[in-house]
Structure 1
Amino acid sequence: MTENSTGRPAAAAGVLGAATVATGLIAGVFCIFACAVMPALARSDDRVFVEVMGNIDDVIQNPVFFLSFLGAPVLTAVSARQTRRSPHRRWVWAALAAYGLAFLVTTVVNVPLNDRLAAAGDPARNTDPAAVRERFEDTWVAWNVVRALLSTVALACLARALLLHRGAALTRPRTWRRRPGRGPAGSRA
């Protein structure tokens, strides 16, 4: 439902919805690593662990992942700008802060660990997989849980903002424009 002919509330809802979906996708990725991928890999021997984590790191770096990973903060920032005068803006800003922290954890902790694992796990270097795993696993898992929680908080904040935005759109008084040649009650003038 648009409030006026420019469609700004509808566009803001669309961007907020897209930010929510992108953030949800990334929260899901981090959550599945915390709940399934890393516990499954914990059962593997050291060489398999290092090889599979290296393969995952190679495969996950693709346009679909990056569209969500980078799209979530960009869309949330655009939504924060669009909703700056809305009563639900606090939720969007809280989401931006939470996802910003998750993004920071990813770029400052998890990605460098992935890079070190890839370098150390190179078969040409003839490194001990147990030592490589020892320097990687516990730290990566702990910080992944942190970013999973932060991105889930961001998702919850965006979902709350979306619900409040939708509720505001439903209770917003309609502004009717008269069509030329029509009187106040819709009769011909």
Structure 2
Amino acid sequence: MTDNSTGRRTTAGGVLGAATVAMGLIAGVFYIFACDVMPSLARSDDRVFIEVMQNINDVIQNPVFFLSFMGALALTAISAWQARNSPYRWWVFAALAAYTLAFLFTVVVNIPLNNDLANAGDPAKIADPAAVREKFEDTWVAWNVVRALLSTLALVCLARALLLHGRYGRYGRSGRSYASAYLESAAGSSASR
């Protein structure tokens, strides 16, 4: 393996690792909404539910979240490009496909629902908060579960690709260690004794 290809492998491994971390963060966000935030809010009355969700949707629009949300997609796409000729490429492609769907569902379903909820105005002044909540809650929760499952699938695929990247880095496609050729040639020399 040449120094140039080693450098590319190191860069590809770094990007793949960063994509895996970003995906884990996003999968965790969707997961915590699915198993804690939304079930907890389900116990609240309509005005409290609307107020808290409006606050959550406002606060989550911050640079740290956007870095993870957009970064998971961008880093996975870059990693897919870098892995296009690798033996683990299908794992990265699968991760990209799964997260692209989660990203699209967010843009097409969840964000418009968030915007509708924000446009409902001050919860204390909403004439029929139950109707506003009913229009939002079940659809948002269902699609969030889909996002959680897809981003978790993407995380699993990236983790598998990262594992294989590490394995192929040591052994190459043939399964034979790159270092073994050096060690074998040195084994008979007096320098190795």
1:112 maps to 112
Aligned 8 A contact 1:99 1:150 in 2: yes
Runs of 4 or more off by more than 4 Å in structure 1? none
- Is the counterpart of residue 28 in structure 1 residue 28 in structure 2? yes
TM-score, structure 2 length as denominator? 0.87
2:135 maps to 135
- 1:39 and 1:161, CA in 2 relative to 1: closer, same or farther beyond 3 A? same
Q: Cα deviations across residues 23-49 of structure 1 (Å, max 9, x unaligned)? A: 110000000000000000000000000
Structure with higher helix content: 2
TM-score, structure 1 length as denominator? 0.89
Aligned 8 A contact 2:73 2:96 in 1: yes
Aligned pairs for 1:1-189 within 5 A: 3-6=1-4, 7-123=7-123, 126-172=126-172, 173-174=177-178
Structure 2's unaligned 5+ residue stretches are 181-188
Residue-pair matches, total? 178
Q: Read off the aligned partner of 1:174 and give its amino acid letter.
A: Y
CA distance in structure 2 between the aligned counterparts of 1:34 and 1:170, rounded to whole angstroms: 39
- 1:133 and 1:121, CA in 2 relative to 1: closer, same or farther beyond 3 A? farther
Pairwise CA distance, 1:165? 0.5
- 1:186 and 1:16, CA in 2 relative to 1: closer, same or farther beyond 3 A? farther
Aligned alpha-carbon RMSD (Å): 1.9
Give percent identity, aligned residues only.
Answer: 71
Q: Cα deviations across residues 59-112 of structure 1 (Å, max 9, x unaligned)? A: 000000000000001000100110111010000000000000000000000000
Pairwise CA distance, 1:123? 4.7
- 1:186 and 1:131, CA in 2 relative to 1: closer, same or farther beyond 3 A? farther
- 1:93 and 1:125, CA in 2 relative to 1: closer, same or farther beyond 3 A? same
CA distance in structure 1 between the aligned counterparts of 2:94 and 2:73, rounded to whole angstroms: 12
- 1:78 and 1:123, CA in 2 relative to 1: closer, same or farther beyond 3 A? same
